[in-house]
Structure 1
Amino acid sequence: MAEDKSGDEPHPLRTVLRNGVLAAAVTGRAEPAPPLDRPWPAGLRWTRFLGFGRLPFGLVTNLFWLVLTAVIIGGTNAMLRDPVRSDAAGYPGDGSALLIAFIVTAPLALRDRHPLAAWRMSFAAMAVVGLSPWPPGMPYIPAGAFAALMCVFTVTVRCSRDITLGVALLAFAGVWINDADTAPGASALLLVPLAVGYAVRVRRTSRRQLAEQERRHQDAEAVLTERQRIAREMHDVVAHHMSMIAIQAEAAPYKVEAVPEETRRDLAEIRATALDALTEMRRILGVLRSEDGADTAPQPSLDRLDELIGNARAAGLQVETLLDGDLAGIPPGVGLTAYRILQEALSNAMRHAPGSRVHVEVSRDDAIVWLGVVNGPPAGGQAPGPALPGGGHGLVGMRERAAALGGELTARPTAEGGFAVTADLPEKARDRS
């Protein structure tokens, strides 16, 4: 009989919890600290008119929390030295009261540069104070509780999911061990920085993914543009001359009455060789003009529309979709073009109208794929983002993509202060002659 060793294997959930707690307490590392010279958010750039807005945002932020920490330490020290507490039994002395005020509050000043270390310091300080009999009748020092919640928020934003899970488990365990009577309320309060921090992290991650996706898209567009330029030059110069060689070789025997048969055969061979070369040249030009060239990797199409819409929603856009017709089986070139146009239009809405309502419509009828992306003005309190370096060619690229299929694309502002992009893409190229 086979021996059952399933009991020796650790349960996956226990492993995840154990690794999360270990990472939160000892081994975990937060994301690198943001640079001190980072620019001000768009909504706060008006502060430059007040003077301090001309300083780097990261530096001002750290100085603000440093000053606030000093003020809170002073207030907490005064509260702990209040006669009601200083006259109580077990009062450790003025120096110890100042030390307690410092250790429970100091993590506020560290959390921007070292969020995980600040939380560990806050957790240890709150544990020491919670296990001590002083101050009496006070399971939590208010300043320490505020610092702990702010550290939990920063850890949730700047650390991985495993570390955040470990921090949450230790924090919940701490409030229940410290004081069971106030634990339900403390647990509910602890959920606030966890939920808000998670939402902020998801939004930031989605924005980074969209920015990276857009950067790759712009790189691909640059390569395609260069290929098209080379293809046009080769067509205008080399292909033209090859065509002329073939035509002249074909016409030469008719210009002279008596042409030796051997010469006729040579001219026919020249013409055939020129036509073969021209055919090969056109094949090479087709590779240069294609986006993927010789790459056989699968290209995105409308079957990834849900993923594209999901990323846009996670970045803050309020996207509504309307799909009509059979969107399966669209030719790969048309599907790729439709996907890229929608991607560029949503990226423009995210950059120029953050938080706006966006209506996306995709329909297919009579072998024509119709696209529409209409966004409103930026949501209240949000300002358009700065232009990306090397940008400004998105609309041109969308029009060229549509034109390559014999379709048309329009892009114009709306009366409501938004922007509308529409395109019709025929599944069979129209005769543009």
Structure 2
Amino acid sequence: MLAKLKPIRLDLLLAVVLTSLTVATTVSQTGGGSGWAAYVVGALTVAPIALRQLAPVATMAVMLGALALYGVVEFGGLPSGGVGALVGMFTVATLRSRLVAAVVFLAAVAVVVVAFLGLPGVVVWSEVAQSVLVVSGAWMLGEGTKRWARRVERLAQEAARAVADERVRIARELHDIVAHHMSVISLQAGVAQYVLDTDLATARRAITTVGDTSREALTEMRRLLDVLRVDHEDDYRPQPGLAALDELVARARGAGLPVDVAVTGAARELRPGPDLCAYRVVQESLTNVLKHAGQAAARIEVDYGEQTLVVKVTDNGRAARVVPSPDHQAHGIRGMRERAELYGGVLTAGQTAGGGFGVVLRLPMSEVAAR
């Protein structure tokens, strides 16, 4: 409401100024002998501009009616050069449909012709044509303004959607980083506490793993947050991918999870987005094994096929898993599935025949391989 109030005040000020100038011009042209009717009709050709944004068609109708009446009773010409009709035509073209604007334009052309026919002497049709062109120019200007406003609104909506998508992506990245590393840290801290008095060497290794994992988590979080800092371009570093799979596996093994890795097919360079997708799927899957599978071993299979990249993570953990909460599902398997769909892939997850759990990611090589 407040946003509309200021433009209306400006329209009111414009209407007051134009009305004053129109009345003053009428007085000077007629020497004050036209009577009050001429002043009232002349004022009505511009005064309704004050309400142009609230009722543009009605405003234009009143001003055109006043202009027609001014010409019929032969007060003489177009008051203030018909500026009221031009502003009204522009407003209608901006705020109303093209059909409504076309009807109003035809009415304005008819009024212009009537006004010139009311002038004494011979009608100069070139002046009539010029006035019609001026009115059509106001129409085109209003139409262009409307298109520009719609384009700005569309771009603003696209920008808002992009911001929302980026927030979701960052939230998902943070979830993957924190969930994985904190799971490792929690398990190793528990091991260290349990064996601190009986097996000092094992406790020391667990504490070392906690330190290494926490530093790795901080590095990945800093790398992610650096993307938001436009003033430190030198700090940008590539996101992890399948090339960093060995480090991820080593970290999982350090947390006490036996992991076997098998890579088949000709390894090739992948585009950053799908490469990160595959890495995060493996990371999330290993995190879930650590958190839910109990005493288990995991196996990672990566197949670089001709048409499809297949990443499979399975474990032989207990069948009776803890059922994840809806919130975990939203940020876990669902998040991995959304990542896969983003690059035209498919992700399936569920119990395996041996009682463990498996996650299979399939990405089309046409979308994955770097060009």
In the superposition, the TM-score normalised over structure 1's length comes to 0.43
In the superposition, the TM-score normalised over structure 2's length comes to 0.49
Which one has a bigger Cα radius of gyration? 2
